[in-house]
Amino acid sequence: MRLDILKKALSNPLALAGFIIILTIFLLAMLAPLISPYDPDAINVKAILLAPSFEHWMGTDGLGRDVLSRMLHGGRISLLVGLVAVGISTLIGIILGALAGYYRGWVDTLIMRLVDIMLSIPSFFLILAVIAFLTPSIINIMIVIGVTSWMGVTRLVRAEFLSLSEREFVQASRTLGAKDARLIFTHLLPNSLTPIIVSAVLGVASAVLLESGLSFLGLGVQAPQSSWGNILTDGKEYIQFAWWLSLYPGMAILITVLGYNLLGEGLRDALDPRSGSNR
């Protein structure tokens, strides 16, 4: 991504706010081992369910563990799952979308019917069904979310390839004898990056929500590892008198999703002049 495009995106106040939110959360998560005031897994029976105070800024949970420390370390897991899952889904979507949009014919028909079948199944229930047959773990969660979330990218890439294939520069290269690989990787794919980048940024928000939902149901990241979802799960048992166990992970998920959505909208305006001109 060129520097001028990034500057244009960040000139949008909402996109700038989203970028600052994501950068802040990312830095806090990466620096968690250095800035966490306590060991996130240390059990302290003398500090069970303490309300937020100067000693424990976000209180403690039912085992006396410091919630702030668990939030910082849990952010690393939640963000990692989101980024890797989106990377997997984007890669699958690019490959299938490029094949469908370039070769057309029976290849396009086969891939798009597969997309239709996948879209007809509610994504969350599909993920639940797959997870039920696997051992819940970080790796399995990332793979399952990735391989069940590629349909949108596939349709975007296919549409871009169908449109670009009719452009003069592609037709000229084909007339000059350019091979399929050169056309795809030199002319078509680089000019299709706009929707891919925007979709990937927005997809991270969806993946974070999915991971949190799975962890909340006990099918995601397992103890003793912490994620925002299973911290939220721990809080539901004490929600009537330990509000901080539900408030802080819920707010972290909300702010993260909001940040990615704001950044995605700003990138869309910066990378696609047509979208900005219509607003």
The DSSP secondary-structure symbol of 192 reads G
pTM value? 0.85
Superfamily in which the 73-277 domain is placed by CATH: MetI-like (1.10.3720.10)
pLDDT of residue 252: 92
Q: pLDDT tens digits for 176-214?
A: 777 878 888 888 888 888 888 888 998 998 888 888 888
Q: What is the mean pLDDT of residues 134-138?
A: 77
pLDDT at residue 4, rounded to an integer: 64
Residue 27: pLDDT band (50, 70, 90) is very high
Q: Quote the tokens at residue 204.
A: 């991270």
pLDDT at 272: 63
Spatial CA neighbour of 141 closest among 130, 151, 150, 152: 130
Q: Is residue 19 pLDDT above 80, yes or no?
A: yes
Q: Residue 179: what pLDDT?
A: 80
> How much is the average pLDDT of 51-56?
90
The confidence score (pLDDT) of residue 276 equals 47
- For the segment 4-26, the average pLDDT, to the nearest whole number, is 82
* Residue pointed to by tokens 């209180």: 59
pLDDT of residue 89: 94
pLDDT > 90 fraction of the chain, expressed in percent and rounded: 30
| Tokens at 22, concatenated | 């994501």
Across 17-31, 130-144, 151-165, least confident range: 130-144
**For position 223, what pLDDT does the model report?**
72
Count the Cβ atoms, other than its own, within 10 Å of residue 249: 30
| Residues with Cβ within 8 Å of residue 1, at least 6 apart in sequence | 197
Determine contact, residues 238/51, Cβ cutoff 8 Å: no
**pLDDT 10s digits, 84-128:** 999 999 999 999 999 998 888 899 999 999 999 988 888 778 888
Residue ranges covered by each domain of the chain? 73-277
Chain-centre distance for alpha carbon 7: 23
Question: Tell me: the pLDDT tens digits for 259-277?
Answer: 999 888 888 877 765 554 4
For the record, the structure tokens of 247 come out as 């408030």
* pLDDT (mean) for 34-52: 89
